[in-house]
Amino acid sequence: MSSMARKFTHISAADYLAAENDGAWRHEFVNGAVYAMAGTSANHNLISLNLSTRLLAHVPDHCSVFSSDMKLHIKTNSGERYYYPDIFVSCEPTDQGRYSRNSAILIVEVISPSTERLDRTEKFEAYRGLPSLQEYVLLAQDAMELELFRRRTNWQREFYQRDTTVTLESVNLTLSVSTLYKRVTFEDPSLAHVTTV
């Protein structure tokens, strides 16, 4: 997800949605606090598109693949949040409005130095509270690295690099990590060669 630039005063979820849905601004909402979203890098966009394309071609018709333009609503006894995950998959037919309600089975965040702490801590904790969620993926944007956390293993970390193969069980998709980095360039020349499958 994009880095969060600034925090505004506390508002209600209804006021947040009214302002957010008019298209004038794009923010995330955490228990009354509203955070402005900043821009993303070319690598971030390419990685997200590479995975989104593969998911769209693979998931069954009753499932939807959403990008960072779709909000994910998380409401629990401890609070209410609206996040913009980089990618998430939902197989609920009701998730065709302005936001998805507690129904993601797979969530993916492309991490950067400015978002990594939040994606690994606060967001991961909130996402784990979704009963529907089966897998959480973190993709590095400065190296060919994928981290996978599954509910069935009690969210134990699995780590994949370069040409290793990973299976996303939630959507029954097996792919090489390097395919997610097609056309991505790295500052470190040793990471520049990627498979273009």
- Over residues 34-76, the pLDDT tens digits come to 777 766 788 889 999 999 999 999 999 989 999 887 888 888 8
- Over residues 145-191, the pLDDT tens digits come to 999 999 999 999 999 998 899 999 999 999 999 999 999 988 765 65
Q: What angle do CA 108, 109, 115 make, to 5 degrees?
A: 165
How many Cα atoms within 13 Å fall on the side-chain side of residue 18?
A: 5
Please determine, for residue 137, whether its predicted confidence score (pLDDT) is greater than 90.
yes
Q: How large is the average pLDDT for residues 81-98?
A: 81
Using pLDDT thresholds of 50, 70 and 90, give the confidence band for residue 196. Answer: very low
User: Sign (positive/negative) of CA torsion 170, 174, 177, 181?
Assistant: negative
CB contact at 8 A, 81 and 30: yes
Q: Report the pLDDT value the prediction gives residue 22, as an integer from 0 to 100.
A: 63
Owner of token pair 């008019």: 22
Widest distance between CA atoms in the chain:
49
Q: Report the pLDDT value the prediction gives residue 39, as an integer from 0 to 100.
A: 63
pTM for this predicted structure: 0.85
CB contact at 8 A, 86 and 111: no
- Over residues 114-136, the pLDDT tens digits come to 889 999 999 999 999 999 999 99
Phi, psi of 73, deg, nearest 5 = -95, 125
The identity of residue 56, as a single letter, is L
Give the lowest-confidence range in 28-32, 88-92, 151-155. 28-32
Which CATH code is given to the segment(s) 40-71+85-191?
3.90.1570.10
One-character DSSP codes across 134-155? -EEEEEESSSSEEEEEEGGGTT
One-character DSSP codes across the chain? -PPEEEEE----HHHHHHHHTTTS--EEEETTEEEEE----HHHHHHHHHHHHHHHHHS-TT-EEEETTSEEEEEETTEEEEE--SEEEE--TTTTSSEEES-EEEEEEEE-TTTHHHHHTHHHHHHHT-TT--EEEEEESSSSEEEEEEGGGTT-EEEEETT-EEEETTTTEEEEGGGGGTT---SSGGG------
**Residue ranges per structural domain of the chain:** 40-71+85-191
CA pair distance 38, 185, nearest whole angstrom: 21
